[in-house]
Amino acid sequence: MAQIGFVRRLVNDKVELEIQRSGGCGSCNKCGGSPEKKMHILTINNSINAKVGDYVEVQGESKDLFKYTLIVYMIPFIFLILGIALGHVYFKSNGNSNYELLSFGVGVVFLFISALIVKYIDKKVAAKDASTIIMTRIL
């Protein structure tokens, strides 16, 4: 997966890149959505000695990106469903009349806990400096 990034600034031995998000939208404006392309800011190692103002090619490992995407989306989803299910069983067995609402509340609490877990995993991955995305060349 190769994309083009613009070097915004240098931070020690890292660069801050501005990468245009790509998506399935062809910007036809038929759906009323904004045709404006959103930019994604990314900080990665400056392995090719890029300078401010350079355009660079950015390459990502698809399997690693897929793995991190699963972590970011599936952990919260699983925790939400698990919280709702556990709350449902607990509150229904105790005879609460509002067991659906209470179980949803437990699901939201589990969702919040999962966000903390995902944040911890993100910091751990960043600390290992396992660069999933690298610059390959200056354009």
| Segment 99-108 mean pLDDT | 96
| Average pLDDT taken over every residue of the chain | 84
Backbone φ/ψ region at 95: left (φ over 0), alpha (ψ -120 to 50), beta: left
The domain in which residue 13 lies consists of 2-138
pLDDT digits (tens, 9 = 90+) for 2-26: 788 899 999 888 888 898 766 555 5
Q: Which residue reads 């660079």 in tokens? A: 56
Give the closest residue to 103 by CA, choosing from 90, 116, 94: 90
Close Cβ partners of 71 (under 8 Å, ≥ 6 residues apart): 118, 121
Band (80; pLDDT cuts 50, 70, 90): very high
The β-bridge relationship of strands 2-11 and 14-20 is: antiparallel
Q: How many domains does the chain have?
A: 1
